[in-house]
Amino acid sequence: MNRSLLLQFTRQDLVDRHAGSSLGALWTLLLPLSQILIFSLVFSKIMGMKLHSMGMGPASEYSYSIYLIAGLLPWLAFANTINRCAGVYQEKAGLISKVQLSLMGLPLYIPVSESVLYAIGMSFFAIFLLAVGFPISWQWLWLPLLFALVMLVAFTVGLASAILNVFIRDTRELVGLVMQIAFWATPIVYVADMIDVSWHWLFDVNPMFHLISAFRRVIVEGQAPDALPLLMIAAVTALLLGCTVMVGRRLERDIRDFI
């Protein structure tokens, strides 16, 4: 897919999300902002949840909210990308039948669109952190690279799910179920130390555990992420993406027939 078409699809996707509403595209800004405010209000002010092991100085009152949001924003982009990619060929069936498009490149607008939303959410998050007195370090320069890796993993899984969903129509629903399980299998709303050590092997084999931990290491601790697991994830994902694209291209004619 060429750049102009990708940008057009991305823009249309962002606009169509709230088409017909009174505020329209303004919701693209309001929803991430409301998430930040709600999480900080509910968990810090109403429930008074704190992580005493994570000394945050003047921002200690918001320690759990900061911990939660730092992991939740990349997770939402990850999960949304996979869930939406899974049904993309059915949703774009009319367009595919009329226009000769690269089926392997078609879902790319989804991670790009989710990246825009993540950037908006992170902008509001950064403003929130500064407002409560939490320092933002130069380590934040790692975040674009970390997020690109998250999107690479998400696109790989999403593309494989999209291809499979053409031939097995329950795949999209199954993917949604798996993502719910994966959410609780990844320390997003809880701290990994709360889980018995005998179960920590599940974290070791979960790529999103390492990625979410990297985000928190950068944002919460102000330190550089551990490079080794990230390099391993990148290498394995690149290999799997290459295999997925190769299989998808061989099945492209069948995909067009089935949808």
Confidence of residue 34 (pLDDT cuts 50, 70, 90): confident
Asked if the model's pLDDT at residue 247 lies above 80, the reply is yes
pLDDT at 32 over 80: no
Could you tell me the pLDDT band of residue 47, with boundaries at 50, 70 and 90? Answer: low
Q: What is the pLDDT of residues 143-157, one digit of tens each?
A: 999 999 999 999 999
CA proximity to 102, closest of 9, 164, 173, 171? 9
pLDDT at 165: 97
Segment 174-204, tens digit of pLDDT: 999 999 999 999 999 888 988 889 989 999 9
* Whole-number pLDDT of residue 39: 66
- Across 97-101, 117-121, 235-239, the highest mean pLDDT is recorded for 235-239
Percent of the chain whose pLDDT exceeds 90: 62
At residue 40, the pLDDT reads 66
**From the CB of residue 43, how many other CB atoms can be counted at a distance below 10 Å?**
21
Residue 33 has a pLDDT of: 74
Among 217, 185, 215, 190, CA closest to 203: 185
Question: pLDDT band at residue 43, thresholds of 50, 70 and 90?
Answer: low
Domain membership of residue 156 as a residue range = 3-258
Domain count, the chain: 1
Give me the mean pLDDT over the 156-166 stretch.
97
